[in-house]
């Protein structure tokens, strides 16, 4: 695709060689003269000037008299759109693979693709134009919306982790609820979404779950939430619309993550904790980012403070050696006993 055509399809202008035929895309360091690359911030401007890339998608403040450039207000989103044009999504044929099992009573919508060795349980619903990659397991009674993509190894609708102690042993609390997933959801490989004990575990529209994410029973995930890999949500957690949750985050029972909150990678949210709307948090236990950074700075200063105290101690010892200090009171002789 020529630069001129790409810019037209992105509804943007370009500067430079519009007739350059782009064969693909790569990062700035490795891009070839026929490839597109991305410049997303000022710190990459110098690298961009030295890059061999034939064309750059860059921010509006990137200036160059020699490079072929497509500038955009949201350069990252524009580059993503360009990649979709340069690498069209491979069409997955609709239909059910011969090795897949769809139990009686399950409903499969129009133009759905169900891959090899998938299992769709009784009473489940798969929305129109959804794609289930090989070896996806959908338990009974799960509802999946339209245009959803579920990657290999995902398990949806398994029992939640519900047990009650009695007589010194654990007894299973029957998990009789279901799972409801909205439209345009993408679920990564080996991710597990448990059915509710009662009621529904709910995943909203446009949610994107990475690989190896665990959503426990009775969680309610709002619309357009993003959750990165190896994150686990305990039972009854609620997450508001447009929240962003990093990788390896742990969230305790019945915690509430309000709309637009950002949970940094590796942080831990305690049971019943509330993370306020729009608030970025980090660390374990999770706390506001500013507070977390201040505490990190204090820890970094501890070694310096320790060294300063050591120097003071040495100075005191040197002074004590040079000055004759009075004897302690208890060491002074009593004249009556002399």
**What is 151-179 written as a DSSP string?**
-TT-EEEEPP--EEEETTEEEE-----EE
Active site residue 217: yes
Distance between CA atoms of residues 172 and 163, nearest Å: 4
What is the 8-class DSSP label of residue 54? S
- Compute, in degrees rounded to 10, the torsion defined by CA atoms 328, 330, 334, 337: -130
Distance between CA atoms of residues 64 and 112, nearest Å: 47
From the list 133, 151, 214, 217, the catalytic residue is 217
Beta-strand ranges (E) seen in 87-225 are 95-96, 101-102, 107-108, 113-114, 119-120, 125-126, 131-132, 137-138, 142-144, 149-150, 155-158, 163-166, 169-172, 178-181, 186-187, 192-194, 200-203, 208-209, 214-215, 220-221
- Other Cβ atoms closer than 10 A to 240: 20
Distance between CA atoms of residues 118 and 101, nearest Å: 6
Q: How far apart are the first and last CA of the chain?
A: 110
Tell me the two tokens of residue 323: 């000055």
How would you classify the pairing of strands 220-221 and 238-239?
parallel
How would you classify the pairing of strands 163-166 and 169-172?
antiparallel
Backbone phi and psi for residue 97, each to the nearest 5 degrees, phi listed first: -60, 145
What is the 8-class DSSP label of residue 21? B
Backbone phi and psi for residue 13, each to the nearest 5 degrees, phi listed first: -90, 170
Active-site residue set: 217
């Amino acid at each position: 695709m020529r630069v001129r055509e790409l810019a037209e399809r992105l509804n943007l202008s370009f500067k430079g060689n519009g007739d350059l035929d782009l064969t693909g895309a790569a990062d700035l360091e490795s891009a070839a003269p026929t490839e597109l690359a991305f410049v997303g911030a000022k710190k990459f401007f110098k690298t961009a000037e030295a890059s061999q890339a034939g064309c750059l998608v860059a921010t509006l403040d990137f200036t160059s008299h020699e490079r072929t450039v497509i500038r955009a207000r949201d350069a990252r989103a524009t580059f993503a759109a360009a990649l979709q044009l340069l690498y069209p999504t491979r069409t997955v044929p609709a239909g059910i693979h011969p090795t897949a099992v769809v139990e009686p009573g399950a409903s499969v919508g129009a133009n759905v693709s169900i891959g090899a060795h998938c299992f769709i349980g009784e009473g489940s619903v798969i929305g129109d134009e959804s794609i289930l990659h090989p070896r996806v397991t959908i338990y009974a009674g799960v509802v999946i919306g339209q245009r959803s993509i579920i990657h290999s190894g995902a398990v949806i609708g398994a029992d939640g982790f519900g047990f009650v102690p009695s007589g010194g042993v654990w007894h299973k609390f029957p998990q009789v609820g279901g799972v409801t997933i909205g439209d345009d959801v993408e679920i990564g490989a080996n991710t597990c979404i448990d059915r509710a004990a009662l009621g529904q575990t709910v995943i909203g529209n446009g949610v994107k779950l990475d690989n190896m994410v665990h959503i426990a029973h009775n969680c309610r995930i709002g619309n357009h939430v993003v959750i990165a890999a190896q994150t686990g949500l305990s039972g009854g957690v609620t997450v508001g619309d447009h929240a962003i949750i990093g990788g390896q985050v742990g969230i305790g029972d019945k915690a509430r993550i309000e709309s637009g909150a950002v949970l940094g990678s590796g942080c831990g949210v305690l049971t019943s904790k509330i993370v306020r709307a729009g608030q970025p948090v980090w660390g374990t236990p999770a706390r506001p980012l500013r507070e977390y950074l201040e505490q990190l700075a204090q820890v970094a200063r501890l070694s310096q403070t320790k060294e300063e105290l050591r120097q003071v101690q040495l100075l005191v010892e040197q002074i004590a050696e040079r000055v004759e200090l009075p004897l302690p009171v208890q060491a002074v002789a009593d004249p009556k006993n002399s």
